[in-house]
Structures are given as C-alpha cells and as structure tokens.
Structure 1
C-alpha cells in the first residue's frame, strides 16, 4: 500500500510545487504525519474521554446504544453495549475480572496507543466462563497471585474496548448485569474488597476527536505526538522511521518544543499538516471506492495489527478507530453502489442475500448506516442498523433476505427490512462478528448494493 499512495500523491502535484520537486524535508514530514496520526488521534480520544468524567483504570459502561448525538468514536456500532477503559500501568498492574456471561457473546479488545490490538479476550478466545487476567506494563517484573493469566502490554497506556452483544433495548437489563460485573482492580488492592467492584458509569462528552486532530496546527500536532511517543514507545522498532524523525528533529520527550526546530523544518511540518488530511482522504477514497466489489470493501487482512504499514494504520484510525482483529470481526464499508455511484438518500437501494449467501458467522452480523462524517442520523423509527439479532426480519419463501436502504419507508409490508438512510450522502458498514473461515479466506462476498431509482 505504501508505494501506491506515494505514487498517487506525488503524481497529482505540479512539477514546480514543493512536492513535485520532492523536497526531502517535505517528504520526511509527510511520512512523520502518517506515522504519528493514529497515536495523536488515540491520545486526543483519551483526553476527551477523561475530561468528560471517565476515570483511569475504571470501566465506563454505556447503558444504551449510541444515538446520533454520540460523536466520541467514528462509526460506533449499535449491536453491542460498550464497556471502555483507559489504563495507566506505570505504577502497577491492573487486574481485569471477567464474569461468567452464560454464553452471551462478548469481546474485550486491548489496544496500545498506536491502535494495535495486542490481546483479544472473550467468547472466541477465552470462552464465556469467569476469568482473571493481570495486565502488566513493559517494565513490571513482579510476581502474580496463583491462577492469574498475565497479559503483557507493550506500553503503559492501554485502551480496553469491551463489546457485549445486545439484542435490542429489551436486552439492556441482562447486559447491564454483565457490564456491572466487569471489573478493573489495581494489583495492590486485590483481595481488599469483593469482586467485582467497578466505578459508576459517567457521561463522556460528545466531542469528535478526529475533528480536533484535523484542526491542530503543526506545533500542537507534533508536540502531542512527541509527548505521546515518550509515554508509549513504538511496540516494533523501525530504524528507518527513527532516522526520518531524527532528521526532522522530532525527538520524543515531555519537553519537546516545536519552535526550537529550524525554520525549514517547521515549514515542512506545517505543509505536512496542510496536505496530510487530504492525502488520507484521497487514500481512503481509493481504498474504499476503487477496490470495492458490488459496492463493498471487505477488510479481511492488515487490520487490528499493522506492523510497518503506517498508511493502512492511519486510514483505519481515521475511518474506524478501535478496529478489531479480523478473527473477531470483519468490517465491510460501502460508500458506493454496485454501479459505482456514491450512496445517496435521494436513491433507493436493495441488498438481496440468497439463502446460501447469508453472512457466514459464528456470532452475528449487521449493517449500519452513517452520514458522510461517520455518525448516526436521526430517522423516524430510531433504527440505525439492521440484523437478525436486533429484530425480526421477513425472509422470502425461498429463504433469501432482501434489505431496503432508503430515506422513506418502503411500505408497511416491507418495513421490518427497512434500513432508513439520511437524505444526503451516506455510507454503510457491514459487520461480521466472529466470521467463519470462508470470510477470512476471501471466499465469501456480500451481495451487490443495487440502486433502484431516483426519488422525484
């Protein structure tokens, strides 16, 4: 992917432009921006959530599905209730207690500050019985009580994103009982109070972190990046990238000062900020438009853990931060219909699954609709996703399933299968939770998104 985006980006620049001339400092600065974008976005998300009342080393349990007012995370799901936590492991390990969920599907995803998933707990990997896990920082070498399962974090900042399957609002009481049994306990406090113990849920401010990052100037962006890198060194060392950063004077540290850099480097970093967002948007457009099949782009590899593919890491952070490993969930974004035209609420669409083409999953699947910014949109029936687990769908006599995606109701007889779309541009996200091998091997393709007509 790296060579593709480089070639595309530079080919669009005029020969006499700073990028057309391939000024070395400017090229290094763009690389630094792409490399640091997920880290800065994660750090911004963390600061917003903590400022909104969330506490370190405690779960925040979302008691209801996200609404259109929710903008803290782009493209939130409405299949599960979230349980999120930010850990600081610099002082000591934190014990994660997971209760018996009595076969209700759940997933606890542990991410580093760079958006890499380093551990996945839950139904697929550890089952639904109770378990106790000790999450330790990279510098901790102590002894754990017998029976604890150790999970070594690559850095002291850890983001836990828990998802518990919720089959509609009527399921809230059952899921709340499970959420309230998830617990995070500092190791030094283990055994001093009953398990489970958890902080009360608080409301997080609905502020869009990606917009905050997009509005940062070069000084704020790179000072945030250097401070975050100081706290969270890269999990995998990349000598080539380290040389690029050093050449720009980007040395991780709490006291990094952007204005101490040379004027030429400051200018290069400012240009990277000016062009970086457009570069990511263009790369995303190519990925999700040009590489789609029937309108969908199934992400079955290079997601959740990114190695040295820094552009892929940045794209996923921008379009869906907190993405799981594909073994836990495969995502299929769609921005266009099968005919190549962008999705718009001025058209009606159908998605028809033949019986043998229904999504092959071990858990469940859904399709969610978002506006062009990646957030939910008000609609008359408060339905933001469609799935067999969220409500009864009407199947055809031959076992096939037809879903109607449009702004207005398709009529009473078809309303059960209606996914309301906003009036303007929108996009869809197909989620396949715990997908079967056919999906992971690339042997399954979702059906075409067919544009039926333009509304008058």
Structure 2
C-alpha cells in the first residue's frame, strides 16, 4: 500500500516541503485553538457564539478575557465567529458620535485581516456591509454599502469602541446593542438556502498544545489537521502551485492523513521540517525588528493578502504574527510598540526598580494612545492592587507641561499624591510595556519617530 508521501522524494525534499507547509499552517492552527475554546469550550468570560455578536460589557482585566496576549484595556469589544458556507452575512453598524473612535475588523481563517473599517478610514456614519465567502455567486441587493469577499468560509469578527472616561461603558453598551449580524436571506426577505452540513470540530489534542495553550501541533499529525482546516478556506489561485507542492507530502485539503502510514525515514524527515519551521519562527520572534530606544515595533506582521502571502518571508511573518499578537489590526490602523528593556538594555523588572518615560509631546496619532503593562513571558495582564494597568491620552490627571510634554512613572508601589496621575503600576518581576497608537501619523509608519526610552530611576516613595 502506497503511503501519503510521494515515494520518489528524498528525505531532504520531504523536510523542505514539511517546513514550508508547517509555517503556512501554523497561524491557522493557533486560530483554530482559539476558535474551539471560544465556541465549544466550557463557559468562560471569553465564550463567543457563531453567527451573532457576543458583547463584552466590561473592560478586560487580569480576571476577564485575559487569554489573548496583549488584550487591550482601552476599548470594549464585541466579537463573533461567522460561518459563511451557506450564505453571506450582513453586518450593520450604527452611527457613532463624531468624537468617538471605533472600528470593525474581520480576519480570515488564515488570520489575515481582509476588512477594517471605522473612524480612521470611513468615519462614524452607519454602514451596511455584506460579507461573502469564496463560494457565493448571488446577486447583491439594494441597500448594501459595501461587499467584502473573503477566501475563507469561517471568519473572526471584532468590533472595538474606545472607552473615553470612567463610567463611559453604559453609553458604549447602547452602541453595541445596535450592531447587527443576520444572514443575507433574512436581511433581504428571500428564501433561505439549505443549511450547510454539520461539522464535527475536534478538540485540539493536548499533545498539540504548547506554551500558554497555543495549538501548534509540532508533530507529523499536523498534516491531517492542516487538511481539515483547509476545508474551511479556499486555495487562492495564486497559491495553486504551492498546494501542488504540499500535496507531495499528503497535505491536500479534505484528504485523510494518518502519520502511522509513514515510513520511519519519512517520519524523521517530516519532523525535521517541522523543527526547522519552528526554529525559523522562534528566531524571528527573538529578532522582530531593530530596537529604537529599546522599543520594537515591527510593521510587517499584520495585514491582508497583499502583505502576508507570496513569499517564504511573508508566510513566516504571518506565522510570527499569530504567535506574537494574533488578530491585531494592520499598522495603518494602529501601531503597536513593545519595550522589554530599559535605556541601558537591561530587562525591565519591577522587583526593586522604577522607570520613567519622558515624552516631550504626545505620540503622533489622530486617534488615541495608551501604554499598558504585561507579564514579560505570557504577555498577559498581571494582577496589581491598584487595579490600574495602563495610562493614556484620556487620563486627565497626568501632569502635563504647557507644551504638552509629560512623564510616566513605572514602579510597583504608589508614588506621592502629586505623581499618582503619572503612575503606571508594574508587577514585582519581569514585565513589558506595550504602546498602542491608533490612527498613526506618517512618521510612525515610516519609522522616523523615535519613542522615548525607559530610564531607570530610584523608586519614588509614597
């Protein structure tokens, strides 16, 4: 009996194909781990539905929704998974007050952003958007502002609304309740198509979970998982040749795959390819970008198909982005920057040290900005008695100079009363600081902006 791998391939050829296929499949596996946990796992604060919005009414914290690395504390989320196999879905968004920053973002099964709309690009008027999968061939009815096509049959949808001040949540709840998600036939009042076949979504095996519970499956069985995941996405015409290459090791959308059918030499070769792919991902994670004053802000890890396909480097960026900060908006929407070291290159550690960031002027954005503290290893929020995890442009108690300059003081214990507005609490231990700069100016996108460093200072006693 012939196994799934072309018997004419050498071990070196098998390893090379397996490496490319693993890097390609890597972000999809991570996304699937989140999908299964959020839609089929036990009830939890991050539980989400398929086909309707789940509105998160409270800002994220160490005890709420603290499962996605770098969860933000600037916005309230609404989230949904959409199954587009039977028919498109119509998304309706309400009119927002002109002062409020908001956006809606959609990511495909590959984890690429194919849609981001909001204050920055289309403004705050009400909108009606038809989101269609790769198989839809229907007519667009009147009343649709925009039609968006995606290469996958299941997508991830986020809506974010900025919290402008304490107690602002009630006003946001009223806006969240005005979001709509309905099948096209319901929206248009036409006959609904037949339901899509029921899918048995298997739970990611424990053997495939790594680190913080990310589903990465670094074994030859990843090929079978890849084949299943690709039934929920369409092979783009530009990647037809790539998938012909993947097929030589049994990576064929919808095909069965059993690693037990491999010879010992083939198993060894596939595993060598997986190990090489993981090594490339880990190496890029350790060398994301050239630091600027201790801050790293790579701009190539998030985006759409034009940025994240077409070359081994692009597929590697997509994989690294999924591990680093899955589902982050593209750089044109928000620039993320992270610091893990101080001005002298020493790791940030709040055990006995304090740090100060001196801004001569506010970060260059048209939207909003904030700086949030996370654990250095997990990139999750760390409980602190103060309950404060960020400082940003909406914090009116920051001490600002006449020309708009200000400083942030990072230490574990409270400072004197006159510095409380400047205080960004940090844990006792290694931490990182993440800047979120929404609506970035050109100097952020061309990286001519130099963020100020974190200077180590003496702990300021309260």
TM-score (norm 2): 0.83
Higher alpha-carbon deviation: 173-182 or 230-239: 230-239
C-alpha spacing 1:219/1:23, structure 2 compared with 1 (3 Å): closer
Contact 2:55 2:176 in 1 (8 A): yes
Q: How far 1:243 moved relative to its partner? A: 4.7
CA–CA distance in 2 between the matches of 1:236 and 1:335? 41
CA–CA distance in 1 between the matches of 2:185 and 2:95? 24
Report the secondary structure of 1:174's partner residue.
Answer: helix
User: Which of 357, 360, 364 is matched with 1:351 structurally?
Assistant: 357
User: Which of 41, 52, 56 is matched with 1:58 structurally?
Assistant: 52
Is 1:155 aligned to residue 173 of structure 2? Answer: no
C-alpha spacing 1:327/1:451, structure 2 compared with 1 (3 Å): same
Deviations 1:324-362 (A, max 9, x none): 11111111122222222222113211111003xx21111
Corresponding position of 2:201: none
Report the secondary structure of 1:268's partner residue.
Answer: helix
Corresponding position of 1:218: 219
User: Which of 68, 73, 76 is matched with 1:78 structurally?
Assistant: 73
Corresponding position of 2:200: none
Q: CA RMSD in A?
A: 2.6
Contact 1:57 1:87 in 2 (8 A): yes
Corresponding position of 1:90: 85
CA–CA distance in 2 between the matches of 1:272 and 1:410? 52
Q: How far 1:47 moved relative to its partner? A: 1.1
Q: How far 1:423 moved relative to its partner? A: 1.2
Deviations 1:98-147 (A, max 9, x none): 00112221111111111111111111222211111111111211112212
Report the secondary structure of 2:106's partner residue.
Answer: strand
User: Which of 39, 42, 45 is matched with 2:28 structurally?
Assistant: 39
- 1:16-415 pair list within 5 angstroms: 23-52=12-41, 53-69=47-63, 70-103=65-98, 104-148=100-144, 149-190=146-187, 211-213=212-214, 216=217, 218-235=219-236, 237-238=238-239, 241-253=242-254, 255-273=256-274, 277=278, 279-287=280-288, 291-305=290-304, 306-307=308-309, 308=311, 309-346=314-351, 347-355=353-361, 358-371=362-375, 372-415=377-420
Report the secondary structure of 2:38's partner residue.
Answer: helix
CA–CA distance in 1 between the matches of 2:431 and 2:110? 28
Q: How far 1:75 moved relative to its partner? A: 0.9
CA–CA distance in 2 between the matches of 1:386 and 1:277? 35
C-alpha spacing 1:337/1:214, structure 2 compared with 1 (3 Å): farther
Q: Alignment length, in residue pairs?
A: 418
Structure 2: runs of 5 or more not aligned: 1-10, 42-46, 191-205
TM-score (norm 1): 0.85
Is 1:417 aligned to residue 422 of structure 2? Answer: yes
Contact 1:293 1:338 in 2 (8 A): no
Q: How far 1:400 moved relative to its partner? A: 1.3
Structure 1: runs of 5 or more not aligned: 1-21, 194-206
Q: How far 1:418 moved relative to its partner? A: 1.0
CA–CA distance in 1 between the matches of 2:79 and 2:386? 28
Contact 2:389 2:425 in 1 (8 A): yes
CA–CA distance in 2 between the matches of 1:272 and 1:167? 48
Q: How far 1:300 moved relative to its partner? A: 3.3
